[in-house]
Structure formats: structure tokens, C-alpha cells
């Protein structure tokens, strides 16, 4: 079964009328601006105007700054975004191989950063999780790309206890992130029928929290036969075990370390053993996305589904605002396929998702909601659920 037209229409209407509130749309717009301002600050901090008097490619800039090699991915995407959105640099050449030359500005963004932060805060206290996350990126920029390349990965994979709250806010409290879990839960709940669900990259629990909250509210907890929660961070797995077993004692839970960049079999996920593989903002971590999806396909029973709530690239070569910080992480920026079906690291364009699902042998792939239908009223939209069937 592919997603029916009726379900697609219903989901699109729900996103438009309930999920994408005026605050969400406004916050998305403001965070884009905040990212542009932080990029301007970074450009000034590193004195890139002087360095780019002569045209340069990202690897040359990286070497001149003494940054680690693949930091060039972070600089390349930052400069492309600046070229497109603020005209600070001229961008020439093929995408991802561009040459950058300084053109103008940027002026000191300090006052506007404070103003935009104030406008974001006025939307509600949790919205500042997004500005805090970008502030953290600016504070950690040189440290992560030069002095301590593992620094951001320690945060993202829960190895640094001191930053647990920052990361929890960035993935769960931030309403712009939280909506990924709400979207995934709405799609998944409508498909469940008593089988086994394997959640991958469950992390701090956004996906499971939405799903079980909604299942309980609708009296649907019995629709889950078994729920296996996994992540590469045992700290995250154990914290979620503590939370969810207490809250939903009737559910048959499983808790596991699982690395999605390694084969399924040796990690004791047997072929044809699960009905749904679920992930909220985690599937894009796969370095070899087609190989990972083939593993998913093997683990699914015939007719089983993957359901991935994902941040997507609406334009093939865009840098998402939160990548100002995420691109400081080695695992985020080094998940590229360098193939026509996945030219950028991590997040995929909807067409990329359809292509990789096809390559991995899935019979159908749908991307929800109807992104084109929402384009005019929410031009900054960035979230979707990818559903594919074995």
C-alpha cells in the first residue's frame, strides 16, 4: 500500500491548519535571518573579507585558517548561503566546487542579533532553544573546526553530560524541531496494526514521546505489539528506558544500542523481524544511505514500512539554519554520498529520498505533506515524513 490520496490530503490539511501555526511560520523565518546574522558575525570574526580579496575555494580557505580538512564543507555551505542570501560574496562555478570572492559588508550584526532574538523570545520561551543552539555554534566555531574536532560530536551523541540540556532543548523543546516528532507520530499511528516497531536514532525520545502520547490519548496503545528503541548513545537509550517504561508499563519494550552505519545482522536485528522502522531526524545520519536502506528492507517483514520524519532540503544545495552549528560536527558533515541522488551531506531533497528508496528496492515511496501545495503559504517549510514500503 502506498499512502492513499485521502491520507495525503488529510495530512497536508493538518499541517497547514494545525501544525504550521503562525508562530511556527514566523519563527522559521526569524531563525533563517538569525542564521544569516551569525554567518555575518563569523565572517567578520575570521576576517574572511581580507582573505577573499582574491577568489578562493573552500579547501584553500580551510587550509589558510588551519582548520581540519573536511571543515571545508562547513565553510563552503556557509559562504554559498551568504552569497545567495546576503550578497556578501560572489559565488562562481559548479555547486559544491564553488569559488568565493568578497563583494561587500557585512556590517556588525550585534544589534540585529539582539533584536531578532527578542522577536523569537516573544513567540514563546521554547523558541529561543533555536537561537541558543546557533549562539552555541558561533561560540564553538573555531574550537570545533580547528582545536577539538570531536567537540560537537560529543554534544550530539550525548557523550558530554554538561551539554545534555542544550541538546535536549535543541531537539525536543524547540517547537521547530518538536514538530518532526508530531508529524512522524501522526503518520505512524495511522499505519500501526499490532506489529513490531524498531525506532532508530531514538535519542532523547522526541519520536517515541509524540507517538505514545498520541496512542494513549486515542486509546491505541494496543496497536504496538513490541517497540524496540535504539540509539548509538547508551546514555540516551537508558534515559528513555527510565522515562517510557514508567509512563507506559503495558507496552512490550526493547532497548538496544544500534549503529545505523553498521550491518543489521551482527547487531541482532534479524531479517524479516520487524513491521515498521521508524526514525525522527536520524535516518539522514547514514553515511551510505542506500546500504542503510537495504539493511532496513531486509529487516522488514514483507509489506513492512519505513517511516522517517525528516528535515529536508527544499533546494538541493541549501544549508539549513541549524547547520550553522551541526556542520561543526564531523558525523553531520561527513555523511555525504557524493552521488547524483545525494549530492549533499546529511539531509536529502525529497527527490533524493525517492531515488534512494528506489535504489534500495522499496516498492513505493511517498513524501508527506504535499510540499508544493504548501509552498506559497509557507515558503520556508522544511519538514516532511518519508514513507516507503518493502
Ligand X SMILES: C[S@@+](CC[C@H](N)C(=O)[O-])C[C@H]1O[C@@H](n2cnc3c(N)ncnc32)[C@H](O)[C@@H]1O
Nearer to ligand X, 37 or 309 (CB): 309
Decide if residue 285 touches ligand X (CB under 6 A): yes
Options 143-151, 277-285, 351-359, 373-381: segment touching ligand X (CB under 6 A) = 277-285
Decide if residue 83 touches ligand X (CB under 6 A): no
Decide if residue 325 touches ligand X (CB under 6 A): no
Nearest by Cα to 240 from 203, 189, 295, 196: 203
Nearer to ligand X, 169 or 354 (CB): 169
Site for ligand X in 250-269 (CB under 6 A): 258-261
Distances 307 to 3, 163, 188 between C-alpha atoms, Å:
11, 29, 7
Decide if residue 381 touches ligand X (CB under 6 A): no
Q: Is 232 helix (H, G, I), strand (E, B) or coil?
A: coil
Decide if residue 329 touches ligand X (CB under 6 A): no
Residue 383's DSSP bridge partners are 311
Decide if residue 352 touches ligand X (CB under 6 A): no
Burial of 69 (0-12, 13-18, 19+ CB in 10 A): exposed
Nearer to ligand X, 63 or 234 (CB): 234
Decide if residue 220 touches ligand X (CB under 6 A): no
| DSSP secondary structure letter of residue 382 | -
Decide if residue 171 touches ligand X (CB under 6 A): yes
Distances 331 to 65, 183, 244, 258, 287 between C-alpha atoms, Å:
21, 25, 28, 16, 9
Task: Work out which of 72, 88, 128, 206 binds ligand X, going by CB under 6 A.
Answer: 206
Decide if residue 153 touches ligand X (CB under 6 A): no
Task: Work out which of 191, 280, 290, 300 binds ligand X, going by CB under 6 A.
Answer: 280
Q: How far is CA 245 from the centre of its chain?
A: 27
Task: Work out which of 38, 88, 281, 294 binds ligand X, going by CB under 6 A.
Answer: 281
| Alpha-helix residue ranges (DSSP H) falling in the chain | 5-14, 22-45, 48-51, 58-65, 71-85, 110-122, 128-142, 151-156, 164-168, 175-191, 206-217, 234-247, 289-299, 323-326, 330-333, 350-359, 371-374
Decide if residue 233 touches ligand X (CB under 6 A): yes
Binding positions for ligand X, rule: CB under 6 A: 157, 171-172, 181, 201-207, 231-233, 236, 258-261, 280-282, 285, 331
Amino acid at each position: 500500500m502506498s499512502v492513499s490520496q485521502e491520507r495525503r490530503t488529510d495530512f497536508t490539511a493538518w499541517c497547514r491548519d494545525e501544525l504550521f501555526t503562525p508562530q511556527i511560520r514566523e519563527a522559521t523565518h526569524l531563525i533563517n535571518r538569525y542564521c544569516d546574522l551569525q554567518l555575518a558575525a563569523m565572517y567578520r570574526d575570521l576576517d574572511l573579507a581580507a582573505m577573499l580579496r582574491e577568489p578562493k575555494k573552500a579547501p584553500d580557505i580551510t587550509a589558510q585558517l588551519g582548520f581540519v580538512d573536511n571543515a571545508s564543507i562547513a565553510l563552503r555551505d556557509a559562504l554559498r548561503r551568504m552569497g545567495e542570501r546576503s550578497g556578501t560574496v560572489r559565488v562562481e562555478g559548479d555547486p559544491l566546487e564553488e569559488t568565493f570572492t568578497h563583494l561587500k559588508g557585512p556590517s556588525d550584526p550585534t544589534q540585529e542579533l539582539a533584536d531578532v532574538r527578542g522577536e523569537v523570545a516573544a513567540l514563546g520561551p521554547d523558541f529561543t532553544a533555536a537561537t541558543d543552539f546557533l549562539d552555541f555554534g558561533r561560540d564553538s566555531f573555531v574550537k570545533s573546526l580547528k582545536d577539538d574536532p570531536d567537540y560537537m560530536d560529543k554534544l550530539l551523541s550525548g557523550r558530554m553530560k554538561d551539554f545534555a540540556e542544550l541538546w535536549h532543548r535543541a531537539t525536543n523543546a524547540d517547537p521547530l524541531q518538536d514538530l518532526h516528532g508530531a508529524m512522524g507520530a501522526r503518520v505512524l499511528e495511522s499505519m500501526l496494526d499490532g506489529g513490531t516497531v524498531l525506532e532508530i536514532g531514538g535519542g532523547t525520545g522526541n519520536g517515541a514521546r509524540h507517538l505514545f502520547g498520541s496512542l494513549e490519548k486515542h486509546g491505541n496503545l494496543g496497536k504496538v505489539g513490541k517497540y524496540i528503541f535504539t540509539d548509538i548513545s547508551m546514555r540516551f537509550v537508558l534515559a528513555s528506558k527510565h522515562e517510557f517504561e514508567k509512563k507506559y508499563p503495558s507496552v512490550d519494550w526493547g532497548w538496544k544500542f544500534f549503529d545505523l552505519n553498521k550491518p543489521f545482522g551482527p547487531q541482532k536485528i534479524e531479517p524479516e523481524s520487524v513491521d515498521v522502522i521508524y526514525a525522527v531526524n536520524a535516518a539522514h545520519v547514514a553515511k551510505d544511505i542506500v546500504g542503510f536502506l537495504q539493511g532496513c528492507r531486509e529487516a522488514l517483514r514483507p509489506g513492512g514500512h519505513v517511516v522517517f520524519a525528516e528535515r529536508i532540503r527544499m533546494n538541493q544545495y541549501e544549508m539549513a539554519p541549524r547547520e550553522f552549528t551541526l556542520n561543526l560536527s564531523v558525523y553531520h558533515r561527513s555523511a555525504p554520498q557524493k552521488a547524483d541522488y545525494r549530492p549533499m551531506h546529511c539531509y536529502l531533497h525529497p527527490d533524493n529520498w525517492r531515488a534512494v528508496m528506489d535504489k534500495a528496492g522499496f516498492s513505493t515511496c511517498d513524501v508527506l505533506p504535499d510540499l508544493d501545495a504548501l509552498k506559497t503559504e509557507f515558503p520556508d517549510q522544511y519538514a516532511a515524513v518519508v514513507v516507503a514500503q518493502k
